[in-house]
Amino acid sequence: MTRLISVAATFAVAALLAAGCSKSSDEGANASATGPVTDSSDSGLKPVAGMKVAMGDPKHGAAIFGQNCSSCHGAAGAGGGIGPTLKGEKSRKNYDAAVAWIKNPKPPMPKLYPGPLSASDVADVASYVESL
pLDDT tens string 81-120: 899 999 999 999 999 999 999 999 999 999 999 999 999 9
24 Ramachandran zone, left/alpha/beta (phi>0; psi -120 to 50): beta
pLDDT at 1: 54
Domain-wise residue ranges, the chain: 2-131
Based on its alpha-carbon atoms, the radius of gyration of the chain, rounded to whole angstroms, reads: 16
pLDDT tens string 3-40: 544 434 444 434 434 444 434 343 333 333 333 433 33
> Does domain 2-131 bear CATH number 1.10.760.10?
yes
Query: Do 61 and 132 contact (CB within 8 A), yes or no?
Result: no
Please name which of 68, 73, 104 lies closest in space to residue 89, comparing C-alpha atoms.
73
pLDDT at 109: 94
Residues 6+ positions from 67 with CB-CB distance below 8 Å = 23, 25
Q: Above 70 in pLDDT, residue 54?
A: no
